[in-house]
Structure 1
Amino acid sequence: MSLEELTDEIETAYRAFDDELAVSLDRQTRNELALLESALEPESTDELVRRAVHTLFQANVETGTLDFHLRSGFDVTYDEYLSGMTYDEMTGANQYPSMDDERRYQF
């Protein structure tokens, strides 16, 4: 897979989300969400869910887990996605022709 395929997949997933997302909660999640809502007193439960997504995203970026999954699935990193080009494109490594081993040392 490639950077273009990752971008296409992200755009497709983004379009699939509505402004509101229905999520089913198990007992443990409901209990933890109720405790967080009671302790943090947000304006709405939606705010806690938004914070949770931000926290999960940040944790995956900081630990390298996101890069691991992106490299495994799309052969790119988060930095490459943000810049819109791969490291090879950034450094110009893919602009040179491949070396022909048989003719490498001929003048």
Structure 2
Amino acid sequence: MTLDALSEDVTQADEELGGEIAVDLDRETRNELAMLVTALGPESTDELLRRAVHMLFQSTVETGTLDFHLRSGYDVTYDEYLSGMTFDEMTGTNQFPQQGDPDDRRYQF
């Protein structure tokens, strides 16, 4: 897969999510959410869920977990996704590919 495939998949997932998501909560999650609502007193439960997604996202970025999964599935990193170009494109590696043995040129006159 490629950077373009990742961008298309992210756009498609964003469209599929829409504005609202209905989530079934198990008992443990519901109890934990109730504790957070009680302790933190947000304006709405939605605010806590938004914060939870932000924290999970930040954690996966900081630990390298996101890059691991992106590299495994799309052969790109999150930084490459943000910049819109792969590392090879940034450094120009793809611009001048070496054909065959790079040492053959020294024997040409």
Asked if TM exceeds 0.5, the reply is yes
Residue of structure 2 in register with 1:60 after alignment: 60
State the aligned residue count.
Answer: 107
* 1:98 to partner: Cα distance: 2.1
Residue of structure 2 in register with 1:106 after alignment: 107
- Which letter maps to 1:14? D
Normalised to the residue count of structure 1, the TM-score between the two structures is 0.95
Q: How does 1:28-107 map to 2 (within 5 A)?
A: 28-101=28-101, 103-107=104-108
* 1:105 to partner: Cα distance: 3.4
Residue of structure 2 in register with 1:20 after alignment: 20
Question: 2:11 & 2:29 partners in 1: Cα distance?
Answer: 28
* 1:99 to partner: Cα distance: 2.7
In the TM superposition, structure 1's runs of 4+ consecutive aligned residues that sit over 6 Å from their partners are: none
Where in structure 1 are there 5+ consecutive unaligned residues? none
Task: Report the identity percentage.
Answer: 64
Q: CA RMSD of the aligned region, Å?
A: 1.2
Question: 1:22 & 1:13 partners in 2: Cα distance?
Answer: 15
